[in-house]
Amino acid sequence: MASIVEGKRRGAENAHQERAWLAWTIAALQRAKRLPALTEIAGNKKRTPKRRAASVEALMTMAHMWTAATGGKME
């Protein structure tokens, strides 16, 4: 229960920080003589590498290992 409350508190705090940053940025941009490029403000998006799909052999190997670890039998 305490971890749920802590998670909600952190979420609310993060949301507040995001709104505060947004308000500050809007106010600062209104005073700017020249607007910076959007990429300077937004930053670069980090690309997440795409994972390759596992082969059938790899999946079967994992299934055999899991079954052996749990004491089951493969059919």
- Check: CB of residue 56 under 8 Å from CB of residue 50: no
Residues 6 or more apart from 73 whose CB is under 8 A from it?
67
State the amino acid at position 65 in one-letter form.
M
How is residue 22 written in tokens?
A: 């947004």
Mean pLDDT, rounded, for 69-73: 81
Handedness of CA 66, 69, 72, 75 (dihedral sign): positive
Q: What would the pLDDT profile of 4-63 be if each residue is shown by its tens digit? A: 888 999 999 999 999 999 999 899 989 989 988 877 877 767 777 778 888 889 888 988
Q: Does the pTM exceed 0.75?
A: no
Distance of CA 75 to the CA centre of its chain: 39
How is residue 37 written in tokens?
A: 């490029």
Domain ranges of the chain: 1-42
